[in-house]
Amino acid sequence: MKSSFTLSAPAPTDLWRKPPAHDVTNAPTITQSIPLASFKSLRVTVSANWERQYDQGGLIITAPDNTYWIKAGIEFFNGQPCVASVATESSSDWSLAPGLAPSGTATFEFAPVKGALWLYLVQDDGERIPLREVTWFLAKQPDVVASVGVYCCRPTAKDGDESELVVQFTNFALECL
């Protein structure tokens, strides 16, 4: 995969699961398959012209057939770009941190630490700020082949406006053992 590229998302696209019947997995992605046991880190810088409620883009790791996933990046919420993450198994949960990406650009990293999957916000000086620990993801099926990479989506449709969200990804880096 190249280190810099763009990905576009029409509306309505999303990665979200809310019981009893809402299960959407139609977000555009660019991923590659790797044995999860060999995963060392995944990092990318994300930016876009975030404008619609829930516009989003960032890193994603999914198990086969989208049975479960973790996504993290920037999500536009209530008029501002926020740092967001979602961990999904039977349902999605949502974590949102306003004020951490005021310019609408940020660098994110996923890395395994002592059996858990950690999400970091990476500062310009390289310092990694821990944002979230997902304890179940790596332990769920350690021998699984996962898809790792980037995603973007535009969940909110707007009457008469068919424009797509275009997300820029730079400094993409995947490390495996």
- Reported as a single tens digit per residue, the pLDDT across 26-65 is 999 999 999 999 999 999 999 999 999 999 999 999 988 8
The answer on pLDDT for 72 being more than 80 is: yes
- Reported as a single tens digit per residue, the pLDDT across 102-136 is 999 999 999 999 999 999 999 999 999 999 999 99
What is the C-alpha to C-alpha distance for residues 127 and 138, in angstroms, rounded to an integer? 24
Q: State the average pLDDT for the chain.
A: 95
Write down the pTM of the prediction: 0.95
φ and ψ at 127, to 5 degrees? -65, 135
Q: Class of 5-176 per CATH?
A: mainly beta
The DSSP secondary-structure symbol of 68 reads S
Closest CA to 145 of 109, 176, 111, 114: 176
What is the C-alpha to C-alpha distance for residues 108 and 20, in angstroms, rounded to an integer? 31
Q: Where are the domains of the chain?
A: 5-176
Chain-centre distance for alpha carbon 33? 16
**Across the strands, what pairs with 6?**
168
Q: Please compute the mean of the pLDDT values over residues 64-73 and round it to a whole number.
A: 91
What is the C-alpha to C-alpha distance for residues 164 and 8, in angstroms, rounded to an integer? 6
